[in-house]
Structure 1
Amino acid sequence: MSQSVDSPVADISPEEAYETLTSDPNARLVDVRTRAEWNYVGLPDLADADVEPILIEWQTFPTMQVQTNFGDALEQACPNRSAPLYFLCRSGVRSLAAARLAKSLGYTNSFNIKDGFEGPPDEMGHRGLRAGWKASGLPWRQS
Structure 2
Amino acid sequence: MSTDTGPAVQELLPTQAWDLLEREPNAVLVDVRTKAEWSFVGKPDLSSLNRSVIMIEWSRYPDMSVNPRFVEEMNEALGDSKPSQVLFICRSGARSMSAALSFQASLAGEALGPDLFNVTEGFEGDLDPSKHRGGLNGWKAHGLPWRQS
TM-fit CA distance, 1:23: 2.4
Decide which moves more: 129-138 or 75-84. Answer: 75-84
TM-score between the two structures when normalised by the length of structure 2? 0.87
Q: Which runs of 5+ in 2 are unaligned?
A: 108-112
Q: Distance in 2 between matches of 1:86 and 1:97?
A: 12
Decide which moves more: 39-48 or 78-87. Answer: 78-87
TM-score between the two structures when normalised by the length of structure 1? 0.90
Cα deviation digits, residues 76-130 of structure 1 (max 9, x gap): 1124455201100000000000111111122431100011000110111100111
Matched, 1:105 2:111: no
**Runs (4+) off by over 2 Å:** 79-83
| Aligned match of 2:59 | 59
Residue identity opposite 1:121 in structure 2: L
Matched, 1:124 2:130: yes
Larger radius of gyration: 2
| Aligned match of 2:78 | 78
> Percent sequence identity over matched residues?
43
RMSD: 1.8
TM-fit CA distance, 1:8: 4.4
TM-fit CA distance, 1:49: 1.1
Q: Give the aligned length.
A: 139
Q: Which runs of 5+ in 1 are unaligned?
A: none
TM-fit CA distance, 1:24: 1.5
